[in-house]
């Protein structure tokens, strides 16, 4: 009888244990957003102040690739640009000189026209005096000759102006074409300078965001080429655990849902963190061998990401548990 009671008690205890709710709904490993920073230029690594494990603020200059040849080319382009600017000033000066010459001819034309007008008034006055016999006829003839000379000068000046206008127009076309050519060359130099400025800026190695250096691949003094990995960093302040759930669990979770996350330090030592579901896979996959789900390694599961705010104790690759 006593033996039967012991067996019954054990059966009850086993039944109770079987009904005991598990402390977690899913397990996984902690991850962080990792970024590999690569070289954007080619040359010797003149400076590189990066140490594995250190935290770098976003925008911090951590190294620089040699830019000596780029700076020399930029100076050469600046010299060429200055020479072109000087040539353009000379062309403008030539155009101004031609315009000034044309202006002098116009002034000369106006002066002759004024002299003719004065001579004609003088002739009118002397004509009256000749009629009255007050002055000899010769003085009137002299004025007529003077007017004829002035008219010839006027016509010659007009011919000069027409020739000057034609020459100025032709010269203007030539100068305009030369200036257009200079402007095109300057635009090309400006484009090359912008390209060089971009290449020089790419020689600066800058941390894209605040994070911790995980790995360092090169050292100061090495020759690097564009695209060569320099170091890897991760945002360990904002981490997430990648866990796996069964299709039966999907009906109870959604993006944005709050849950509990436990960092597993082994030997039963755990630390709790508030978590938020940020992503649920829309495609099923076979259960990873290192992951246990509520169905004890069900054939197909769905990956989820739960974000947490790290206090410095959670490390990448650490195992964790999730309670929805």
Final residue of a domain: which of 201, 219, 241?
A: 201
pLDDT at 213: 96
Quote the CA–CA distance of 322 and 324 in Å, as a whole number.
Answer: 6
Task: Tell me the CATH number at 252.
Answer: 2.40.30.170
Residues 188 and 293 in one domain: no
* Angstrom distance (rounded) from CA 146 to CA 226: 85
Has residue 47 been placed in a domain?
no
Q: Name the domain count of the chain.
A: 2
Q: Residue 74: inside a domain, yes or no?
A: yes
165 and 72 fall within a common domain: yes
pLDDT at residue 16 is higher than 50: no
CB-neighbour burial class of residue 251 (10 A; exposed 0-12, middle 13-18, buried 19+) = exposed
H/E stretch holding 110 reads: helix 68-132
Out of 159, 186, 201, a domain closes at 201
Query: What is the DSSP-derived secondary structure letter of residue 243?
Result: E
Judge if 75 and 138 occupy the same domain: yes
Going by C-alpha positions, the residue among 25, 57, 1, 49 that lies closest to residue 306 is: 25
The answer on 310 and 270 residing in a single domain is: yes
Mean pLDDT of the region 279-293: 72
Distance CA 40, CA 202 (A): 5
- Residue 3 pLDDT level (bands cut at 50, 70, 90): very low
Mean pLDDT along residues 283-307: 70
Is pLDDT at 20 greater than 70 in this prediction?
A: no
The per-residue pLDDT for 289 is 54
Asked if 183 and 283 sit in the same domain, the reply is: no
Quick one: 96 and 156 in the same domain?
Answer: yes
Give the integer Cα–Cα distance in Å for 202 and 106: 59
Structure confidence by residue, pLDDT tens digits, 134-184: 777 777 777 778 888 888 887 887 877 777 777 776 666 777 778 888 888
In a domain, 209, yes or no: no
Instruction: Assess if residue 119 is contained within a domain.
Output: yes
> Domain for residue 163, yes or no?
yes
What number of other Cβ atoms are within 10 A of residue 261's Cβ?
26
What secondary structure, in 3-state letters, does 5-58 show? Answer: HHHHHHHHHHHHHHHCCCCCCEEEEEEEEEEEEECCCCEEEEEECCCCCCEECC
Average of per-residue pLDDT values in the chain = 83
78: tokens are: 């600046």
Q: Is the pTM of this model over 0.75?
A: no
Residues 113 and 182 in one domain: yes
Q: At 61, which helix (H) or strand (E)?
A: strand 61-65
pLDDT greater than 90 at residue 129: no
Residue 210 included in any domain: no
* 84 domain residue, yes or no: yes
Q: Quick one: pLDDT at residue 11?
A: 41
Structure tokens at 282: 């829309």
CATH number reported for the structural domain that contains residue 91 in this entry: 1.10.287
Tell me: the pLDDT tens digits for 91-114? 777 777 667 666 777 777 788 888
Please indicate, yes or no, whether residues 79 and 159 belong to a single structural domain of this protein. Answer: yes
What pLDDT, on the 0 to 100 scale, is given for residue 287? Answer: 62
Q: Are residues 156 and 232 in the same domain?
A: no
Boundaries of domain holding 115: 68-201
The tokens of 76 are what?
A: 């050469």
In a domain, 216, yes or no: no
Whether 192 and 132 map to the same domain: the answer is: yes
Position 162 scores a pLDDT of 79
Residues 191 and 73 in one domain: yes
Cα gap 41→125, rounded to integer Å: 91
Q: Which of 182, 201, 220 is the last residue of a domain?
A: 201
Same domain, yes or no, for 85 and 188? yes
């Amino acid at each position: 009888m006593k033996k039967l009671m012991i067996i019954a008690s054990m059966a009850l205890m086993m039944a109770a244990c079987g009904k005991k709710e598990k402390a977690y709904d899913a397990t996984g490993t902690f991850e962080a957003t990792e970024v590999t920073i690569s070289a954007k230029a080619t040359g010797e690594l003149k400076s590189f102040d990066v140490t594995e494990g250190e935290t770098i603020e976003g925008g911090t200059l951590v190294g620089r690739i040699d830019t000596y040849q780029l700076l020399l080319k930029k100076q050469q382009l600046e010299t060429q640009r200055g020479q072109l600017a000087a040539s353009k000033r000379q062309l403008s000066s030539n155009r101004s000189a031609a315009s000034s010459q044309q202006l002098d001819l116009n002034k000369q034309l106006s002066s002759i026209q004024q002299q003719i007008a004065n001579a004609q008034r003088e002739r009118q006055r002397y004509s009256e005096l000749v009629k009255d016999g007050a002055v000899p006829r010769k003085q009137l003839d002299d004025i007529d000759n003077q007017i004829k000379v002035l008219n010839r000068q006027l016509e010659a000046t007009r011919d000069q102006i027409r020739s000057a206008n034609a020459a100025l127009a032709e010269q203007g076309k030539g100068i305009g074409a030369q200036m257009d050519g200079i402007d095109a060359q300057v635009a090309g130099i400006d484009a090359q300078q912008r390209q060089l400025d971009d290449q020089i800026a790419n020689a600066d190695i800058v941390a894209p965001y605040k994070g911790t250096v995980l790995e360092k691949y090169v050292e100061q003094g090495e020759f690097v080429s564009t695209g060569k990995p320099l170091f890897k960093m991760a945002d360990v302040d904002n981490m997430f655990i990648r866990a796996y759930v069964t299709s039966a669990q999907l009906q109870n979770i959604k993006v944005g849902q709050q849950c509990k996350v436990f960092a597993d330090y082994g030997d039963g030592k755990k630390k709790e963190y508030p978590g938020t579901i940020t992503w649920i896979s829309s495609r099923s996959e076979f259960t990873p061998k290192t992951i246990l789900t509520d169905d004890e390694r069900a054939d197909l599961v769905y990956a989820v990401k739960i974000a947490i705010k790290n206090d410095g104790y959670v490390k990448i690759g650490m195992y964790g548990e999730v309670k929805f």
